[in-house]
Structure 1
Amino acid sequence: MSGNVNTAEENSQKQKKKWEFPHVFALMFGLIIITAVMTYFIPAGEYERETTVVNGTERTVVINDTYHEAEGSPTGFFEVFQTVHKGMTQSADIIFFIFIVGGAFGILNATKAIETGLANLSMKMADKEIYLIPVIMTLFALGGGTFGMSEETIPFIMILVPLAMKLGFDSLTGAAMVIIGSGAGFTASFMNPFTVGVAQGIAELPTFSGMGIRFAMWIIFVAFSIAFVMIYAKKVKKNPEKSLMYKIDKQRNLDDSLDGQYKKLTGRQAVIIGLLVATIIILAIGVIYFDWFILEIASLFLIMGVIAGFVGKLRVNQIAESFINGCKELIVGALVVGFAYGILVVLEESNTIDTILFAASNLVSQLPTAFSAIGMYVFQSILNFLVPSGSGQAALTMPIMTPLSDLTGVSRQTAVMAFQLGDGISNSITPTSGVLMASLAIAKIPWTTWFRWIIPWVLLSYLAGGIILTIVHMFIWTS
């Protein structure tokens, strides 16, 4: 009898495994294979390119009306596997940025300063936890709207996910405060140098012109995004089982000792938290005023980690071991970036990405003037799934969209807005975005769960973007 029971249990387990969703690496490699198959059906072609200076920085941009057929180079069987290595090589700066920041936070975590601080904060915010969400999201939205905060958000996932859970929310809420907060600001940016700045430079518009209208759009997007996250957070706070991450979050190893011996911050831990705050302030100053990027930011966090280790009275070997442990925690988050870049490698090496660009621009040019702006918006949105880099997409598409806007009666400012909206909204959902996939991997949130949760926000954002774009096209930027 017991043998039959065991057999039934084994069959039940096999049935569950049969329906298990693929690991993020399997998902990304599957997308690489699908993209590789597409290269056998999409004709090869390319635009000529030139190097130009945009806002003081050299950019390689396409030259309009130079598209021509090129020799086809579909991705072969062996080349499919090579794209993983090539993708990791191309994204090495981001991958090692994640490892270094993760290692720095590994040292920080070894001092118990963050955990203790979170425990104290959760106690002090009792019954007022919900008000942290608009404050935190507004700060990230300002970062996205001003200096194009993107990769810089990754370290904060490691802080805000456990904070949200300590406050009675879930890991989705913690990740959303970072991803949607910065994403809403990035999408509706009023002075992002990597999207608005580059696009306006290529379109030969004054840098950050039209800021007033974009700032109004920023307020709309940020307010709507905060409301979306708060409504979900309240629901989870009231009934934790309503969380899409309920089962996974229950298995997380949050430090229960926070409610006991670590309840009170020591003087050294207070200094370490102050060091973290100072690091964030220096990061913002460096990015805004000194054009810091991944290299400088990674170095800054490494300095912070080492100093925090010594302040926390860790031995040199303990600092090194904690750094390694921090890197281990982010292995998936770092390496998934390389898989995401592998998809772009397939499109570039097969000479098919320019063909997609050429076909889409031809479709937009045939639309009536009233719908041309929406056509550009849809085109930029779709293209962002293939080219998730904001500045990269601007360099690729704006040299074509600029003369196209002149021909179709669309203001160049409107064309820039269509680009920034199309580029920004899908960043929060596309699996080809290395930053998104790394953030989700660090937060231990499956992409499918995230997709299911965020798709209403994405659809409503697309609708809001379309309405705003139509209004500015018809009544504000009319020429």
Structure 2
Amino acid sequence: MPDTLVIIFFVALLAAALTYFVPIGSFQTEVIYYMADGVEKTRTVVNPDSFEYQLDSQGQPIKAPVPLFEGGGGVGLLNFAFEGLTSGSKWGSAIGVIMFMLVIGGSFGVVMATGTIDNGILRLIDKTRGNEMLFIPSLFTLFSLGGAVFGMGEEAIAFAIIICPLMLRLGYDGITTVMVTYVATQVGFASSWMNPFGVAIAQGIAGVPVLSGTEVRLPMWVGFTLLGILFTMRYASRIRREPTESFSYHTDAPMRAEQAKTLPDSRFNIGDWLVLLTIAVTIGWVVWGVVVHAWFIPEIASQFFTMGLVVGVVGVVCRLNGMTVNTVARSFKQGAATMIEPAVLVGCASGILLLLGGGKATEPSVLNTVLNTAGQGIGQLPDVLSAWFMYLFQSVFNFFVTSGTGQAALTMPLMAPLADLVGVSRQVAVLAFQLGDGLTNILVPTSASLMATLGVCRVDWGDWLRFIWRFMLALMLCSSAMVIGCHYGGFV
């Protein structure tokens, strides 16, 4: 398989080529009112009837072909990487996610320098000998629950850094780590009954009672989570018996060699307990902040930086691995350096959206034209096919807009009234959105969180594609059956 960066570049070429054939257009927005937790709230959404092509002086739709290079801060094919790397804000992709990765990479670099994680893993393996397979269903369930309850996603990057050494010590690989962390969060996110950043927003925009339909979505979450656990355990059992069958055997070889080293008798003193306590308190702090105060990337990054600082102080005071103040500084820099490769991939992937004109509904772009055309096409189909094509469209559209909130704001104002016209309930339209939006985050290289998690686990996207396509096919079949079944079952 080609290197991940090569794949992203060819996708960028395809996006640039589209701009030569597809005219640009835009929508107008409007304010809607909806109820959430008994409180009336407002949200600005797209007016589905307001789409207009950008016209020239002769009244013909305008195309905006991407040039080879664009100066003055514009986006051209040869500067899409830089523009992508510097796009967004501290609240999101790309620059926010990149800085988030550097900070948590540095913080966990300090944690790893203490030696506490290595020693803790050895003790854990010794205490649970014979029951190691219990880690996979336990971790997958917890991360899936995190995705379902509070929209966990970017947070999985930090946990993958901790869990990957454990998985390697147990005889698994980097792919297993990605499955029980990031993939689990996306399975939970997609099948959630209460995710505030996905299903709740989509229901509010669609005019469906927020958090309704739990009686269908909760069993759906259980079913999809069990499917993920079974698939992961089957793969993990195979590679534990024969490590060379791992799809990431060649890329995580350095990490595997490091974990295979015979360590001295594991030290575990008061300093190690303080490090673990700091990590546990930080995790609780993150969960509390996300659930209670809706904290996001800037706040979470600050929480992990604080963790790294406290762990550094503990390491120096307790002389863990002979740490000094300079050791703390070097470890932070080395930890941040490990994130450079995935950070570059995140930025370049974000540049693809910019080549298509960006994700703003009110600014003329190729992406808006694609969105409007797809909506019109779906409206011409029979009702059950319309329901299924809504799911299919949301899956494809997620390649360009991987933010659940952003995709809901762009697509649900179109899909909700379209559902009324073709005889599909709005609840089914929301279901099609959440399954299409969440599950394809497991695959698309434009997902910053996926690329970052693959990066920290040393898994190439090409190898990931060779592994994950079977699981994605199973998820697609189950999702299609769910959407069609709920349509015929009268899910409202």
2:145 to 142, 146, 152: 142
CA distance in 2, matches of 1:29, 1:60: 34
- In structure 1, C-alpha distance between the alignment counterparts of 2:469 and 2:406, rounded to whole Å: 25
- Name the residue aligned to 1:36: 16
Cα deviation, 1:144-182, whole Å, max 9, x if unaligned, reads 001110111111111122111100112211221112211
Task: Show the 5 A alignment for 1:192-211.
Answer: 192-211=195-214
3-state DSSP of counterpart to 2:129: coil
Alpha-carbon distance change, 188 to 161 in structure 1, aligned in 2, over 3 angstroms: same
Work out whether 1:74 is the aligned partner of 2:61.
no
Equivalent-residue separation in structure 2 for 1:57 and 1:128 (angstroms): 49
Query: Where in structure 2 are the equivalents of 1:227-246 lying within 5 Å?
Result: 227-246=230-249
Q: Does 1:453 align with 2:462?
A: no
Q: Which amino acid aligns with 1:28?
A: I
For 2:63, the aligned partner's letter is: G
Matching residue of 2:73: none
User: Contact 1:119 / 1:259 at 8 angstroms: preserved in 2?
Assistant: no
Stretches of structure 2 that go unaligned for 5 or more consecutive residues are 55-61, 70-75, 89-93, 317-322, 359-363
What's the offset of the Cα at 1:24? 2.5
More displaced, 382-391 or 49-58?
Answer: 49-58
The counterpart of 2:339, out of the listed 309, 330, 336, is 330
Please name the residue that 1:252 is paired with. 255
Q: In 2, are the aligned partners of 1:98 and 1:330 still within 8 Å (CA)?
A: yes
Contact 2:66 2:355 in 1 (8 A): yes
Measured after TM superposition, the shift of residue 222 of structure 1 is 0.1
Partner of 2:81: 84
5+ residue gaps, structure 1, are 1-20
Identify the residue that residue 162 of structure 1 maps to in structure 2.
165
Note the 1:21-420 alignment, pairs <5 A. Answer: 21-50=1-30, 59-70=43-54, 71-78=62-69, 79-89=76-86, 90=88, 91-252=94-255, 254-255=257-258, 259-261=262-264, 263-313=266-316, 314-349=323-358, 351-420=365-434
Per-residue deviation at 1:320? 1.8
Letter in 2 for 1:29: F
For 1:339 and 1:257, the matched residues in 2 are separated by 34
Cα distance in 2, alignment partners of residues 59 and 444 from structure 1: 40
Flag the 1:301–1:354 CA change in 2: closer, same or farther, 3 A.
same
Instruction: Specify the alignment match of 1:5 in structure 2.
Output: none
Contact 2:29 2:44 in 1 (8 A): yes
SS in 2 for 1:168: coil
How far 1:461 moved relative to its partner? Answer: 0.4
Distance 1:82 1:105, change over 3 A: same
Q: Is the Cα–Cα contact under 8 Å of residues 116 and 258 in structure 1 kept in the other structure?
A: no
Larger CA deviation: 42-51 vs 256-265: 256-265
Whether 1:424 and 2:433 are equivalent positions in the alignment is no
CA drift of 1:60 comes to: 4.3
1:468 and 2:478 aligned: no
Moved more, 179-188 or 238-247: 238-247
Change (3 A) 1:23 1:82: same
On the 8 A contact 2:290/2:296 being kept in 1, the answer is yes
CA contact (8 A) 1:187 1:421 kept: yes
Q: Which moved more, 1:260-269 or 1:126-135?
A: 260-269
Q: From the two aligned structures, give the one with the greater helix fraction.
A: 1
For residue 257 of structure 1, report the CA deviation from its aligned partner. 8.4
Give the C-alpha shift of residue 62 in structure 1.
1.4
Q: 2:432 aligned with 1:435, yes or no?
A: no
Matched-pair contact (CA < 8 Å) for 1:120–1:264:
no
Q: Indicate the RMSD between aligned Cα atoms, in angstroms.
A: 1.8
The Cα shift of 1:51 comes to: 5.4
Q: In structure 2, the residue corresponding to 1:84 is in which secondary structure?
A: helix
The structure-2 alpha-carbon separation of the partners of 1:358 and 1:167, relative to structure 1 and needing over 3 Å to count, comes to same
Q: Per-residue displacement from partner, 1:82-126 (whole Å, max 9, x unpaired)?
A: 322222222211110110011100111111111111122122222
Q: Does the CA-based 8 Å contact 2:102-2:339 persist in structure 1?
A: yes
Contact 1:162 1:254 in 2 (8 A): no
Question: Structure 1 residue 370: deviation in Å?
Answer: 2.4
Shift, 1:248, TM fit: 3.1
Q: TM-score if structure 2 supplies the norm length?
A: 0.89
> If the length of structure 1 is used for normalisation, what is the TM-score?
0.92
**Secondary structure of residue in 1 paired with 2:356:** helix
Which deviates more, 417-426 or 327-336?
A: 327-336
**Contact 1:201–1:207 (CA under 8 A) maintained in structure 2:** yes
Q: Which amino acid aligns with 2:153?
A: S
Paired position in structure 1 for 2:59: none
Looking at structure 2, the residues matched to 333 and 58 of structure 1 have their Cα atoms a distance apart, in angstroms, of 37
Distance in 1, Cα, partners of 2:340 & 2:265: 29
Cα distance in 1 for partners of 2:465, 2:260 equals 34
| CA–CA distance in structure 2, aligned partners of residues 421 and 80 of structure 1 | 32
| 1:425 alignment partner AA | L
Percent identical pairs in the alignment equals 38
Tell me the number of residue pairs that the alignment of Structure 1 and Structure 2 aligns.
Answer: 458
Give the 3-state SS of the residue equivalent to 1:61 in structure 2.
Answer: strand
Following superposition, the deviation at residue 326 of structure 1 comes to 0.7
Q: Assess if the C-alpha contact under 8 Å between 2:383 and 2:422 holds in 1.
A: yes
Counterparts of 2:398 and 2:278, CA distance in 1: 37
Secondary structure of 2:211's aligned partner: coil
- SS of residue paired to 1:444: coil
Q: Return the alpha-carbon distance in structure 2 between the equivalents of residues 256 and 225 of structure 1.
A: 26
The Cα shift of 1:242 comes to 2.0
